Amino acid sequence: MGYVKFTEEERNRARETNLADFLEEHGETVKKSGSEFVWLDGEQKVTLRGNLFFHQYEQKGGDAIDFVRKFYGKNYVEAVQMLLGSNADIQPIAKKEHYEHQPKDLKMPPKNDSMKRVFAYLLMTRGIDKSVLQEFVRQNMVYESADYHNAVFVGYDENGTPRHANMRGTGTKNPFKCNAVGSQPEYSFHWNGKSSYLFLFEAPIDMMSFISMHSHQNWKQHSYAAACSVADKVLFECLKNNPQIKNVYLCFDNDQAGQAANQRILEKLKDTDITTKILIPYNKDWNEDLLMRNNGGETQCQAVQS
């Protein structure tokens, strides 16, 4: 194939293609799920929101061009051409291992001038302690995106460079959540303390909910991490960069996936010098526990010895 040059308008038009419409036009089945659509990659769920996708199992996502490159096995030029209307009869590749997703630079969502929607969502809807949220905002770890007004949770590397951005919709009926293109899972949302304790969670809101319930206990001295999945890369990166950590609490959700992940990570740590315990929320997750407590209910998490 010879050299092909696209205009900026053509690249943007390809990138902004509605993925649900694109898949239906190519004979694929998509199903409505709230404000999103769902398409199956084999048996794995892929959520679609406009021109964005998120692979729930791999915990990776991107825009329409990334989607065609990943699932149709195309290079950049072929993907843009396909999205603009060329090669419309091509079917998705049967085995995704034929295409190796190339690492990308992190695409940080544009920052909004106001934090109004994020503050309302995290404080009023999610019940996060105001002083806890303000500290994360002060550290430039939480902000509101200018495009969709999502809450953006930023993870930094050891040099203070942003390497991960997890986005969460702020509408009460908006289940949207996605990692920004180019996010590196080993640097997902985390807080480095100086004590020997680290607490690992599935999601940033769970992490901030747990901290909110213990904010009176000098929470800043400890380390916390949100995997933005049920993976463990951020845990081992934190252990590498914080050798003082000798006690790890695994705090994933109180469901099958979360507890399976707890056991898997526990197995990885059993022959190390790390003391590991499992903390299980009373409800499904720590935010539900926080909301119950804020409404006058009593919660008691379960501690499981390693």
- Give the pLDDT of residue 269: 95
Q: 252 and 135 share a domain?
A: yes
Q: 241 and 279 share a domain?
A: yes
Q: 289 and 150 share a domain?
A: yes
Cβ atoms of 112 and 146 within 8 Å: the answer is yes
Q: 215 and 271 share a domain?
A: yes
State the Cα–Cα distance between residues 202 and 250, nearest whole angstrom.
9
Task: Give Cα separations from 92 to 41, 73, 146 (angstroms).
Answer: 10, 8, 33
Range of the domain at 40: 8-98
Q: Residue 110 falls within a domain, yes or no?
A: no
Residue 9 Cα to chain centre, angstroms: 30
Number of residues assigned to the chain: 306
Q: 44 and 122 share a domain?
A: no
- Give the pLDDT of residue 304: 65
Whole-model pTM: value is 0.69
Task: Count CA atoms closer than 13 A to 6's CA, side-chain side.
Answer: 17
Q: What is the pLDDT of residues 204-253, one digit of tens each?
A: 999 999 999 998 889 999 999 999 888 899 999 999 999 999 999 999 99
Q: What is the pLDDT of residues 4-45, one digit of tens each?
A: 678 888 888 999 999 998 888 777 888 888 888 999 876 678
Q: 57 and 154 share a domain?
A: no
Q: What is the CATH number of the domain that holds 214?
A: 3.40.1360.10
